[in-house]
Structures are given as structure tokens and as C-alpha cells.
Structure 1
């Protein structure tokens, strides 16, 4: 079985419903998965680069789990990439630690899907281009995206929304674990 590492990049998990539900359900669906919640470790602390690099070395599949913030990944996840994926580790003539590993982008979006997928095509391919390119740049294989739309935290207290969010989290995890199983 491939070793799966999930990097949760939500900057404020206490305000998250669906991302937390996804992580909870993923840990049940794949008990051997390692989940790293960056906000719990590094919001106001330096990133332990050696520890994070070791996690990456030991993983076969890396999943970035995050909410889409202003059409991009959250700042904490970006900071983690910038500080951990260093020249000589992830890229450069001697930086081969990520080569051959698979990267999956798993994210939630507050807006409805039709905002992002329309006559102009799938905007997620454009919005996630930097992460897809970074995967290739480091020798990783971009293995795909799993996204769930219409899960705005602003709706979390509306009547009946908890059940809707849980169902969406279940569906998200089913699609994510199905993708992982193909790798």
C-alpha cells in the first residue's frame, strides 16, 4: 500500500466545517494516512523544515487539502511549500526527493461550481496551474484534483446545512479515496 501524506493548509480550521469533516472521514477511510494540520503546528511558529521534508521523503502520495481562498491556495500552505520545497531537496541538480511522488489537490470552494466551469472551460485547471507546474518542476506526477463546491462557511449555521455539508464531505472523500486507489 502506498504511504499517503495529507497536508491540510486551512489557515483557520476552527471556522471550517467541510474541510474538517473531510479530514475526519479520510482518517477513517484510510486509517494509515498521515494528516498534518499546518495551522495547528505553524500558524505563529517557524516551520520545522527537516521534519516536513522527512514526511515528504517517506510519502508516496501527497495530498494538499485546502479551501480555495481568493482563487488560490491559502497563504499558510504557500508558506509551507516555499520553506520546505528547497533547492537541493525538491529541485536543482541534487534535489530529487520528490521525484516520482504523486500530488493530488483536494479542495473546497464556497461558490457554486458553475462560477468556475462555464463556456470558457474549467477554471480550476487555470487556478491550480501553479501547483500543477510546481509538481512537474520537482519531478512529481500531478495525479489530479478533487473539489467540492457550494460549501461556504457563511452557510454553516443555516438550518439543515450540517447534513448537506456532511453528505458533501462523504462524497468528496469517496472521490478522493477512489483516486488514491488508482495510484
Structure 2
């Protein structure tokens, strides 16, 4: 099995249902995967740059697991990216991440029907991911098809049926993620 690094960018996993369930399910099925929970490892956002870069260098497959905040990475994960993906490490003439596979695995609070040009978000999810395509190209990472689950709003937790559906959807998300990771190991 290739080395898998999962970087969890949820700002507070203790408040999550979907992201925690996804991580727990993936860990059950891929116990050898390394999971870096940024909120637990770095509560004050003081990242150990050398450790994070070494983990990335050791990985063949990198998964970013996060809630889609304001059409981008959550603030903690964005700071991690800013601090760790330095010129000469992730990009530039001495870049070291080239050829690694990158998987975006994320959740949204809004339902899928709102991600269309004629709906509230005014864009599809795929259109909103264009900056990630540019990031992957700059770092010579092989960006895979994203895996995402929509509609995991905090508001849905007040309804028992909707809450059960969030758990089911998160488990299905994890199954898709594990299947993709395994296919990249073939």
C-alpha cells in the first residue's frame, strides 16, 4: 500500500459530524493511513513546518479533508497551506511534491441544488474548485476527481431523520474515498 497522508482541516472536529465520521470510517478501512488533524495538532496555528513537509514528502497520496468554507479551505487549513507550501518545497525550480496524487475530500453545508449558475451559489461546485486546479498545477500534483458530500448543515442536526442521513452520507463519502485511494494503489 502506498503511503497515504490525510490532512484534516476542520477548524473544530469536536463540533463535526460528517468530517469526523468520514475520518473514522477511513481509519477503520485504511489503518495504515496517516491522519493529521490540524485542529488537534496545532490548536494555536503554530505549525511544525518541518514535520508537515516531511509528512508530505513521505506521502504518495495526499488527501485534504475539510468543510468547504466560503468556497475555499477553512482558515486554519489555508494558514497551513501558506506556512507549509513554501517556494522551493512545493513549487519553484526545486519543488519536491511533483507526481504525488492530491484528493480533495470535502463537505458543504448547502445542498447540491444551490450549486448552479441559476441558484444561490451562482456556480457549480466544479467551477468553484478552479483555484485548486491551479494550485495542483503549480505544485505538479496530480489532482484527482474530488469527493464531496453536500447538505451537512448544522441546522439539519435538529431533525433526527436529517441527522441520521448525515451519518449515512458521511459513511458513503468515506466508502468512495477509500475506493479511490485503493484504486490509486493499483
Q: What TM-score do the two structures reach when normalised by structure 1?
A: 0.93
Which residue is equivalent to 1:179? Answer: 180
Taking the aligned partners of 1:134 and 1:76, their CA distance within structure 2 comes to 17
Query: Structure 1 residue 162: deviation in Å?
Result: 3.4
Matches of 1:23 and 1:29, distance apart in 2: 10
CA distance in 2, matches of 1:157, 1:125: 30
CA drift of 1:116 comes to 1.0
Structure 1 equivalent of residue 70 of structure 2: 70
**1:163 alignment partner in structure 2:** 164
Q: Look up the SS of the partner of 1:54 in the other structure.
A: helix
Q: Deviations over 1:18-67 (max 9, x none)?
A: 10010000100111111110011223141100000000000000000001
Find the counterpart in structure 1 of residue 141 from structure 2: 140
- Structure with bigger strand share is 1
Matched ranges for 1:21-32 at <5 A = 21-32=21-32
The CA distance in 2 between the partners of 1:58 and 1:4, in whole Å, is 9
* Other-structure match for 1:102: 101
- Give the TM-score of the pair, scaled to structure 2: 0.91
Superposition pairs of residues 5-44 of structure 1, within 5 angstroms: 5-44=5-44
For structure 1, which runs of at least 5 residues remain unmatched after alignment?
none
Structure 2 segments unaligned to the other structure (5+ residues): none
Q: Which residue of 1 aligns with 2:83?
A: 83
Moved over 3 A (4+): 117-122
Partner of 1:61: 61
